[in-house]
Chain A
């Protein structure tokens, strides 16, 4: 958006002109971003419901929704699940795997890069729901994975019920790794070969080059990518909902799933909005943490 304003900046212009050019984007931000957030904030203090008496008479109930949230054991479970899902699939999975793939592809021949890159990208360009169905049928009771292991005489496992969190984590890694890979590819291409060559001349091992030169050099990219991937993962809903529905029990109920259940299954929209604000808060806290660690 800022590029719009910067482009014609040959002559000096008054503040009003700047403002005028920014107006459309500010209007869009206000209507589609600020207004819904304010509205959500407002509703979180009400008893807004989808049906029943409360749907007719909206009442201001103070901080009741928030009090309820801190008393609700499922909230704690869902925060924990969200963190497990986040660390497993985003921080460790997508980030580390994406980096490794990018690193291994560096300096390889063009054909190899193209083939591997396309395969990894396939997971990313697949729409979330299609991806969920693919992995559902992979992990399902009569799914591909069970067909493979039973071919080797290993007893079948009900993956989606025995290790549900692991299956959704793997699904999210499969779906999202390409993004990290692309980011890291671009960053790694920018690491000057001279420095690495100089290090080799000085007798540095491959590991030393990786940890002392390459990683520090792209540190900012790592943090930025970590933030982007974290925010994307915090909001993952469709993937988990389609694969396990948050179950069995509450074992894959992350915060978006919990929020949906409260708002649209239990018809408590007000409570649902309060949970969504908690999710927003967690996102902000994590982002601030990343930004700070980038500065240090």
Chain B
């Protein structure tokens, strides 16, 4: 090889290397351009994407079926609606969403937001304010939406960042057959925590070792379910709150916190709960609702009103007998003090990311997807409670088992603090609950919680009682 050809060869190698280096970025730009052609007014069909959490059920999932069904009936045929689920545990979903919303390349056109994180995502600038859009939407202003439910989608800046599509309440699901077998009343209405514990003790004694007396999610892996269904249901039942609205401070130490944690401690010390190996993983919620409860291996389950969605035909764990076997009792306050029972309400909304490519098309689709007919289909198939007054009156909805009870519980409903620090505080709650479940004393766990929350919200924003 002559030195000239050798030089040429090395030069071309270097150039090739450089191309390889920048190869990825140029492809991405091209992809972006072709994606934008749709915006330029050409006749090409526009694709809007909807991101939601897939809990592992894939094309059998309620949301997937609902989205494809609504999309197939969507009158605007120039728009194609594409589900882009994120398969993740409840805890991971929100981190993945936040990462996706950060960039124009990955942000979907519509995203399902849990109302607890909506405020934080809005503060981060990830979501588009929808005030102008909802104002012009008849359904929003003519009383179709229950007024109180609009609070959940209003962030601390007073703007609206989503259209709610469901809400929920929480209480004690119990298996009437097991109750009958051990001699407990089939129409059960515990008046205080002691009655809940004594029922659990009776089940433990008489129902056999393969029946779990009471299930509450207690791990970090179950994320918000641990915070809300377990801890906050207990804490709010003591009369205590997470956040003091009057002073604008987070309550980091109080008798209520100790009481709530002591309840969890008792459950675990007396082995009234599920084995830790079952409850401290991300599948705990699914295991209790889809396996333990239908198979008669669980007596009482402190859980959300939506779990019946699993038992419907086409649900994740069809169980037609659930109407007769299950009971849904209100969660009592700790000593039975007024208002007697407590529930927390949450819910989900459809939001439009600030980085969405097709905001107008997304909004038009949301209006169609969350009209009366489609909202009703969704809440009935998912087992949730509706946020629309017109759906609530419809016999096709109100006739479903348990819906009336679940809706009744909403009368005493409490909401999580609409604070952008809540999601972070919530992860500290999960850590605290899990540490008590695994043997730490309530006092130590509360002290650690106090330190961690102080670090998150700052010394000036905490309150010790």
Contacts and interface: CB of A to CB of B under 8 A. Distances in A.
Which of B10, B91, B220, B448 has the most chain A CB atoms closer than 10 A to its own CB?
B220
Given A24-B14, A24-B18, A53 B427 contact: no
Interface stretch (A118-126, A188-196, A263-271): A263-271
A141 B277 contact: yes
B434 A249 contact: yes
A63 interface: no
Which of A21, A160, A248 has the most chain B CB atoms closer than 10 A to its own CB?
A248
A158 interface: yes
A53 B434 contact: no
Interface string A1-45: 000000010000000000011011001100100000000000000
A108 interface: no
B120 A51 contact: yes
Contact of A247 (B17, B428, B434): B434
Nearest to B3: A11
8 contacts: A52-B424, A55-B102, A161-B276, A245-B220, A248-B280, A250-B435, A265-B427, A267-B120
A133 B431 CA distance: 25
Pairs of residues from A and B, 8 with the lowest C-beta to C-beta distance, nearest first: A55-B124, A24-B17, A249-B438, A264-B95, A52-B120, A56-B125, A50-B98, A51-B120
A141 B117 contact: no
Contacts of B280: 161, 245, 247-248
B277 A50 contact: no
A110 B6 CA distance: 46
A52 B421 contact: yes
A59 interface: no
A55 B428 CA distance: 19
B423 interface: yes
Interface of A: 8, 20-21, 23-24, 27-28, 31, 49-56, 68, 73, 140-141, 158, 160-161, 245, 247-250, 264-268
B423 A51 contact: yes
Contact of B92 (A160, A249, A264, A268): A264
Given A23-B14, A51-B98, A245-B281, A158 B276 contact: yes
A51 B126 contact: yes
- Measured as residues with beta carbon below 8 angstroms from the partner, the interface class of chain B is 35 or more
B465 interface: no
Given A264-B95, A267-B95, A52 B420 contact: yes
Contacts of B14: 20, 23-24
A248 B125 CA distance: 35
Interface in B417-465: 420-421, 423-424, 427-428, 434-435, 438-440, 448, 455
B282 interface: yes
A31 B92 contact: no
B459 to A, nearest CB: 13
A28 B21 contact: yes
Nearest to A24: B17
B145 to A, nearest CB: 26
Nearest to B279: A248
Contacts of B420: 51-53
Contacts of A51: 94, 98, 117, 120-121, 123-124, 126, 420, 423
B221 interface: yes
B285 interface: no
A55 B438 contact: no
B399 interface: no
Given A20-B14, A161-B276, A264-B95, A53 B123 contact: yes
A23 B10 CA distance: 12
A141 B434 contact: no
A110 B281 CA distance: 46
A55 B125 contact: yes
Contacts of A28: 21
A140 B95 CA distance: 28
A288 B423 CA distance: 41
A21 B125 contact: no
Given A51-B126, A52-B420, A161-B276, A249 B117 contact: no
Interface string B110-145: 000000010011011110000000000000000000
